[in-house]
Structure 1
Amino acid sequence: MSGPKYLGHLNINVRNVEISHEWYTDLLGLHTYDFIPGRAAFLSANVELSHEIALTQVAEGAPGLQPGQVGLGHFAWRVETLDDLKEFYQKLLDRDIKITPRDHGVSMGLYFQDPDGNGVEVYYERVRADWYTQENIFTNEKRPVGDFPGPWDELAAD
């Protein structure tokens, strides 16, 4: 028996499926495969898949995530080019969404939250040949950590 090949989808509990559905389709450009008002939405970036995210509505007053709480920290969407990431950065700025940019050495990511406080990342992964190392990529003491080395302040000023 072989193991899983890839992650199929995430199911995210949200307080208001209409608000979250609009947010994920408008900001991330996800395709809607099914939408049940007041109950659920099934979305995907890859139109060949039935869904990568299922949004399930829970009570409007449901407690939100707390810092340090056990559970999913964030999930990430990959873009193809650094220019795509820069465009997405500007899109977040235009919507006044708080962004935490990070350079992980092998990738550069933009971290932010959805309307319910769930962590979301949009990232660009460098070509493997450009990685700072080929082994121990997250524990290597030479790993660059911090904000982007790029002209992000200039982009924000445009």
Structure 2
Amino acid sequence: MRSREAHRVARRITAVAAIFVVAAASAALAQPAILAGDTIRSLGERAMGYKPMSLDHVNIFVRNAERSHRWYTEVFGLHTQDTMYHPGGERLRAAFLACDPGHAHDIALFEVGDDAALQQKGQVGLNHVAWRMANLDDLAEIYRRLHDKGVPVRVSDHTVSLGVYFSDPDGNGLEVYYELPRNQWQQERPFSGGGAKGRFPGPWDEVLRQQTPALTSV
């Protein structure tokens, strides 16, 4: 009798386990797949019900806040939204700058002193901060401004965008760029799609002709 009862219990346990296995398999099939090739989905896209609105601002350490504040406003034409000073003095400690005066800030510059170590080439950390221009004419204007100020630049044609790369007085990497509207990309992927270059005529034409493909980067 006990043997038959134990057998019935074992069968029930097996049946319940089978139900759980089927349910788990169904749930897994219902999840969006992470595919290679044309369809790419990150774990965040698959698992999260939220995402940030956008990347909003950057905070940069500089050796001299006064110098950097002047440089960023002269090069980019940014609005000064707020400033902070060192205690007991008139020396600038931090500045908050924005492209749009209706936005709190796009970049904050915090002074860390003249003896602070500068970034080293190839070290782990931020590569560059990119500023998107509204059109190709605006990109050409800031390109000429950088040239007039004697700022060394590098230009890269990414097929869907054109980027101008340079550094601020403390060696922080910067980029100004213009990107085509999505319906003009003529390719699915922005950087590995193999699109045609040469769609961004401007004062950088000769520089691009002289550069080798090995110098381009995103």
Task: Please state which band the TM-score falls in when normalised by the shorter chain.
Answer: 0.7 to 0.9
Query: Which residue number corresponds to residue 136 of structure 2?
Result: 82
Is structure 2 residue 189 aligned with structure 1 residue 139? no
The residue type paired with residue 154 of structure 2 is: T
Whether the aligned pair in 2 keeps the contact of 1:17 and 1:38 (CA below 8 Å) is yes
Q: TM-score, normalised by structure 2?
A: 0.65
Structure with greater proportional strand content: 1
Q: Distance in 1 between matches of 2:154 and 2:200?
A: 14
Q: Does 1:152 align with 2:206?
A: no
Q: How does 1:58-77 map to 2 (within 5 A)?
A: 58-77=112-131
SS of residue matched to 2:127: coil
What does residue 97 of structure 2 align with?
A: 43
Q: What is the number of equivalent residue pairs in this alignment?
A: 153
Paired residues of 1:90 and 1:155 also in contact (CA < 8 A): no
Q: 1:28: Cα distance to partner?
A: 0.3
Tell whether 2:156 aligns with 1:108.
no
Seen in structure 2, the aligned counterparts of structure 1 residues 17 and 105 have a Cα distance that, compared at 3 Å, is same
Q: Which amino acid aligns with 1:114?
A: D
* AA partner of residue 139 (structure 2): L
Matched, 1:27 2:81: no
Q: TM-score, normalised by structure 1?
A: 0.88
* Partner SS, residue 80 of structure 2: strand
Q: Structure 1: any 5+ residue segments left out of the alignment?
A: none
Q: Secondary structure at the match of 1:92?
A: helix
Mark the structure with the bigger radius of gyration: 2
The residue matched to 1:152 in structure 2 has which SS? Answer: coil
User: What do residues 41-87 of structure 1 show as CA deviations (whole Å, max 9, x unaligned)?
Assistant: 00100211111111011021111111111111001111111111111
In 2, Cα distance between equivalents of 1:70 and 1:53: 21
* TM-fit CA distance, 1:151: 4.3
Q: Deviations over 1:1-23 (max 9, x none)?
A: 52211112111000000000000
Structure 1: distance between partners of 2:189 and 2:152: 31
Q: Residues 47, 155 of structure 1: CA spacing in aligned structure 2 closer, same or farther, 3 A cutoff?
A: farther
Cα distance 1:103–1:154, how it changes in 2: closer, same or farther (>3 A)?
closer
CA distance, structure 2, for counterparts of residue 111 and residue 101 of structure 1: 6
Relative contact order (alpha carbons < 8 A, sep ≥ 6): 1 or 2 greater? 1
**What secondary structure is seen at the aligned counterpart in 2 of 1:22?**
helix
Distance in structure 2 (CA, Å) of the matches to 1:52 and 1:88: 18
Instruction: Say which of 54, 62, 74 aligns to 1:6.
Output: 54
C-alpha contact 2:57 2:107 (8 A) present in aligned 1: yes
- Contact 2:136 2:200 (C-alpha < 8 Å) held by counterparts: no
Residue 136 of structure 1 and its aligned partner are, at CA, apart by 2.3
Runs (4+) of structure 1 exceeding 3 A deviation are 153-156
Give 2:109's match in structure 1, choosing from 46, 55, 68.
Answer: 55
Change (3 A) 1:27 1:153: closer
